[in-house]
Structure formats: structure tokens, C-alpha cells
Amino acid sequence: MKEIQEYEKDIASIRNMMERSAKFISLSGLSGVLAGLYALAGAAVAYFSLHYPVSPINYRTYSLQSTEAMLKLIMIATAVMVASIGTGLWLSNKKAQKHGLQLWTTASKNLVINMAIPLVSGGIFILIMLYTGHFGLAAPACLVFYGLALIQGSANTFDEIRYLGFSEIILGLISASVPGYGLIFWAIGFGVLHIIYGVIMYNKYDK
Amino acid sequence: MKNPFDNLDKVLEHRVRLQIMSILVTNDGYEFSSLKEMLNVTDGNLASHIKALEREKYISVSKSFVDRKPNTKYKITERGRNAFKKHLDALEAVVKQQK
């Protein structure tokens, strides 16, 4: 018969394995901060190349309808996304190596698959919106679908991602009800929230 | 009261087997190579414990080819899930009794 401490260790190892096998714990907090900075930079570029000198706080009496402006916005958004994903992969890989873990595990595969479902459907939906001329709700839709993806993915990584997801959805819905401020909400959702959450995650898990 | 030690599952008393079951109870299918990585054990060691769990019909195996490479995936069975739950309850009872 085993010692009682051995049974306690058994229970601890069950908990540890359940947690570690299902959750991707190498996600880097710092990459969240950088993704936020990229988004803010992207928003600034978009503002100065499209709206300047109209103040971003004032309600715009015109709306963006030209294909050229749309293409510019899509290009900026794509650049921000590629840079963010690239940084995320790079820093998470570094973090994984530091802890002697692999980046590509069953947990991270599940994370990618689970997040891809709302992201891809949302992406197609937004492209259809743009194609059919419903420009006004594209930015809020980005936030809502991204929030859904985060909530879906939170089962496979840190629980806090779930609350980031809820924040993005709430922000997206507010943004949908006040048209004309898409760029500001986009900057808050993808910029400010990422920086705040990145700092929280960095202090909690990366130090 | 019955002795909670009697409810412990002899097959699951081994830590590695218990860990394999913990992984399979949370994940819907896990590969041999991923299990090995997670548990930090040798091929032979892992294979022998998997065999023991298979013999009890606690886990099921599916073999397939991914990119022409053999891919072995393990899943927990209903029987395995019940056994794991019972063993966990027994572990808790044992620890509680000692306190």
C-alpha cells in the first residue's frame, strides 16, 4: 500500500496533466502588447491617410464609400494582422523553448482550429458586406467575430482570454450602434485592449 | 463504512497510467508522440503502459496514415471514463479519511 502523500501526489498529477494537455500555455503576453501597438500604428496610418485633418472625435458628416479607401483599409488591416500573428508565433515559440515545450502541440492545434471557425466565417461575412456596399458595419463586425473566436479559443489556453473576448464583443456591439466611429473602436479593441491584456498576462505568466 | 482503499483501481495505481488517463479524459483523442512528449517517458515505457490500459479496454486505438506516416491515436472508452472517475473518487476518499 502506498503512503498517503503518494495519493495526494496522484491527485496533483491528474490535475496537472488535465490542465497541461488541453491548454496551450506558451502564449506570450508580450506579443499581445506588440499586437496592440501594431494595431494603434495601423489605425494612425489609416486616420492620417484617409480622414486627416478632420478630428477623429468629431462626428463625420461623410462616410467612406470609395473602393480606393476600402482597399487601403483592408491592406492596413492585413498588414497589422500578419505582423501580429508573426510576432505571436515568434515570441510564443521562444517562451515554449524556454520551458522546454513544443510550440505545435495537440492543445495549440485545437486552439488554432477552434479560433479559425468564427474567424474564417466572420472574415467571409465581412468581405461579403464590403462587396455589397455595407461598409459601415465592417469594423464592428471585425470586433464581434474576433471576440467570438477568443471565447471559443479560451478553452485551449489561459482563461483570461475569455474576458478579452467578451470585451471585444461588447465593444463591437457599441460600435455598431454608433456609426462613423469605426476606426476609433477598432483602435480601442485591437490596440488598447490587447495592450492591457498583454500586460496583465505578462505580469501573471511570463515573469 | 467500507474501506476506501478497496475502491482504488489496481491498474490505475501506476502514476504514468493515471496521467495517460487524465490526458485522454480531457482531450478527444491524443497521439502517441504527443503523449510521449507530455509525459516525458521513453517509447518502450509508454507502450507498455498503453498496452496495460488497452488490455483493460480503458482506451481504444485507431491507426491511420498522415502524409504516409503511421499515426496512432488513443481515445478513452466509456469503461475507461467510469473507471477513472471511480478511481478519482476513491483517491479523494482515501485522502479525506486520513485527515
A60-69, A133-142, A151-160: range with lowest mean pLDDT:
A60-69
Alpha helical stretches, state H, A132-181: 138-153, 160-177
Contacts of B86 (CB under 8 A, 6+ apart): B7, B9
With an 8 Å Cβ cutoff, is A21 touching chain B?
yes
Would you say domain B4-90 falls under CATH 1.10.10.10?
yes
A55-59, A107-111, A145-149, A186-190: range with lowest mean pLDDT:
A55-59
Report the half-sphere exposure of A26 (CA within 13 A, side-chain side): 24
pTM reported for the whole predicted model: 0.78
For A91-124, the pLDDT digits (tens) are: 999 998 887 777 888 888 889 999 999 999 999 9
Percent of chain A with pLDDT over 70: 93
Chain A residue whose CA is closest to B23: A18
**Band (B65; pLDDT cuts 50, 70, 90):** confident
Cβ of B22 and A4 within 8 Å? no
Task: State the pLDDT at residue A62.
Answer: 57
**In the structure grid, which three cell numbers stand for residue B7, read together?**
475502491
Residue among A4, A15, A102 whose CB faces B37 most closely: A102
Task: State the pLDDT at residue A205.
Answer: 86
The residue ranges of every structural domain in chain B are: 4-90
Query: What number is the average pLDDT over the span A179-201?
Result: 93
Residues of A with CB below 8 A from B88's CB? Answer: 11, 14
